[in-house]
Structure 1
Amino acid sequence: MKVLLSINPEHVENIFSGLKTYEFRRKVFARKDVKTVVVYCTMPIGKIVGEFDIDCIIEDKPSDLWKETEGGSGITKKFFDSYFEGREVAYALKIGEVRAYDTHVNPSDVLDNFTPPQSYMYMDRERFKGTNSRQLELVW
């Protein structure tokens, strides 16, 4: 199973360059069969640009999570603390194999009624338009 995550351009660049090896989240997927993240790069890009496999998901108190992941965080401690402010639990997706798409995909071309998810979106077959099979192969 794949999920689509909205990620800011700066973080997308750091993920695909290998600088950022953890993607932080306030909540994670209810489904346990999620293995791959499809990366939607937020505006001004506004495209699906690639994907990465999830090596594992780490769940911990924010302070302990930072100690474990800071070397691959790709963000400052200040940003991390602000993102998890008031939270007792924090999550980090350990990024496995990364695959940038040669051709970026306009999500509205392949997904019905696309709006960028605030948290995540399961990539279920029912969501796909099925009109552009070449682009569909990339994200499915």
Structure 2
Amino acid sequence: MRLPTPVACRPSRDGRWKEAAPGGRTAARPRDTPTDLDYLQDQAGRKMDGVTMNLSTSSAQPSLFDEDDASVDVREPVLMSLNPIYFDLIWAGEKRHEFRRRFLTGQSVRWYVYLTAPVSRLGAVIDLGPAVVDTPQRIADIAEQARAGNGASVFEYVQDLPQAFASPIQRVVQYPGMPLDQLKVELGSFHPPQGYTRLRNHPDLLSICDKVTVDSPTREMTVHGH
């Protein structure tokens, strides 16, 4: 039986092993035929593509310090006075907006509440949604929808203005609070605000307000969902 002629291989100038044709001539592989080196290079390329893909995917993940994080509190802190009668109406579900002649627009507010006499105490926090700004009659209509008969008194309060403000009450939290005498000791002097005070402009007063909220709440309630 005649054995088949062995095929010899030898390296070419480019480092690839090529089969030697009968007679000693080297038979070059067709250009589209992969070699072992081609396979290794292809696998290496696939791994690098995988690394690049993973890096691109990870870079798309949100940052832990994303400025748009919903958990970041962007409410504007203000201090305002409130008659205890109206404060009780909130808890009774009959007061769902805070009506003002002048107020902030286009932003949510954290209202630190000073309850006037006979309570005379800084003792609550109310979260307000962005104010509805409209004509006095439209603002009075909002008041009437919440409590029958209240529209007339709100209209009388704002009728001389081109526009008035109705801020939806979202949440109310009551604390043990700080009485007027202690506020005067802590701050040197204290006068209950007639309008609203932007607390970012008064860091000492803001610090006192934050101090009040360290205690556990005595009661809390969601009014308008947000």
Same fold (TM over 0.5): yes
Higher strand proportion (structure 1 or 2): 1
Q: Pick closer, same or farther for the CA change 1:114–1:60 going to 2, 3 Å.
A: same
- The whole-number CA distance in structure 1 between the counterparts of 2:107 and 2:189 is 25
Let me know the Cα RMSD of the aligned residues.
2.9
Q: Pick closer, same or farther for the CA change 1:112–1:75 going to 2, 3 Å.
A: farther
Identity over the aligned pairs, expressed in percent?
24
The one-letter amino acid paired with 2:205 is F
Q: Does 1:4 align with 2:79?
A: yes
The one-letter amino acid paired with 1:39 is V
Q: Pick closer, same or farther for the CA change 1:66–1:33 going to 2, 3 Å.
A: closer
- The whole-number CA distance in structure 2 between the counterparts of 1:74 and 1:127 is 41
Shift of 1:10: 0.7
Match of 1:105 among 174, 178, 203: 178
Q: Pick closer, same or farther for the CA change 1:100–1:60 going to 2, 3 Å.
A: same
Instruction: List aligned pairs for 1:68-79, cutoff 5 A.
Output: 68-72=142-146, 76-79=150-153
Normalising to structure 1: TM-score of the pair?
A: 0.79
Instruction: List aligned pairs for 1:60-139, cutoff 5 A.
Output: 60-72=134-146, 76-101=150-175, 103-107=176-180, 108=183, 110-124=186-200, 126-128=203-205, 135=212, 137=214
Normalising to structure 2: TM-score of the pair?
A: 0.52
Q: Does 1:56 align with 2:130?
A: yes
**What secondary structure, in the 3-state scheme, does the structure 2 residue paired with 1:128 have?**
helix
2:99: which partner in 1?
A: 24
Residues 87-136 of structure 1 deviation map (CA, whole Å, 9 limit, x = unaligned): 111101100011111x12225155452111111112236233968x8536
Shift of 1:37: 0.7
On the 8 A contact 1:40/1:49 being kept in 2, the answer is yes
Question: Rg: which structure is higher?
Answer: 2
On the 8 A contact 2:124/2:173 being kept in 1, the answer is yes
